[in-house]
Amino acid sequence: MEDVLDLYEEPKNPQQPVICFDESPYQLLKDKFEPLPASVKHARRIDYKYERKGVCNIFMIFQPLEGWREVKISDRRTKIDFAACMKELVDIHFPKAEKIRLVLDNLNTHTLGALYEAYEPEEARRIARKLEFHYTPKHGSWLNMAEIEISALIRACLKRRMHSTEFLKQEIKAYIKARNKVHTIVHWEFFSKDARIKMTKLYNKNLCG
């Protein structure tokens, strides 16, 4: 736990940016009947019936100290999809960084080995050398600020039905653009010194790894 919290206390370092990474499944739904538009007497009315249009995956990339985020949508949640996100981080978003320090959950897809399944060994190693993984402990995914960003995205943008990945991407793109424009950050106020006081009992249960 302190490994992640110490990262959050460090000052900005463009050469070693701290990035929070998380993902969430999202179910695509289509209205079975066209919603009735709002009027003077009634709010917009939506029928309870809908059609399931499949499931996609939302990848959230969040740089807390800069108030910058990027969202990627994929049809699946595989090691190949994860590897593609890592390559994009290295080559597109932070090409000049010496090391990208990533806070992420300890899922079976979140490994450097995923790079070797997606790319040739030389390319996989090139990407891996730029990445430094910092995993949240078991039952400690709340330490990942990208989880907060996903929650904000869902509340502000995804509570209504989205019928396709194309429409979903369009809506999320507009939301992210507006949020990045004002550099919305997370006001994180829980650090190692606080954890030692409030979570003493958990330190003996391997939560401080």
The per-residue pLDDT for 146 is 95
Contact 103/140 with Cβ under 8 angstroms? no
The region, left, alpha or beta by phi > 0 then psi within -120 to 50, assigned to residue 80 is alpha
Check whether 111 has a pLDDT greater than 80: yes
Side by side, which strands form the sheet with 100-104? 68-74, 50-63, 18-31, 100-104, 131-135
The per-residue pLDDT for 5 is 87
Tokens coding 31: 């209205």
Give me the phi and psi of 151, to 5 degrees please. Answer: -60, -40
Strands (E), 67-202: 68-74, 100-104, 131-135
To 5 degrees, how large is the angle CA 179–CA 185–CA 191? 160
The per-residue pLDDT for 141 is 87
Confidence at 35, pLDDT banded by 50, 70, 90:
low
8-state DSSP, 131: E
3-class state of residue 70 by DSSP:
strand
Predicted confidence (pLDDT) per residue in 60-77, tens digit: 999 999 999 999 999 988
d(CA 82, CA 133): 13
- Tokens 């206390």 locate to 9
Q: Sketch the domain layout of the chain as residue ranges.
A: 2-34+46-205
Closest-CA residue to 22 (of 71, 67, 55, 64)? 71
For domain 2-34+46-205, give the fold. Answer: Nucleotidyltransferase; domain 5 (3.30.420)
117 Cβ neighbours under 8 A, 6+ residues apart: 79, 80, 83
Across the range 173-194, mean pLDDT stands at 89
Tokens coding 12: 């900005």
d(CA 173, CA 170): 5
Which range has the worst mean pLDDT, 28-42, 90-104, 109-123?
28-42
Task: Tell me the pLDDT of the chain averaged across its residues.
Answer: 88
d(CA 104, CA 189): 19
Beta-bridge partners for 50: 31
Check whether 79 has a pLDDT greater than 90: yes
Across the range 186-194, mean pLDDT stands at 82
d(CA 89, CA 11): 20
Beta-bridge partners for 61: 21, 70
Check whether 80 has a pLDDT greater than 70: yes
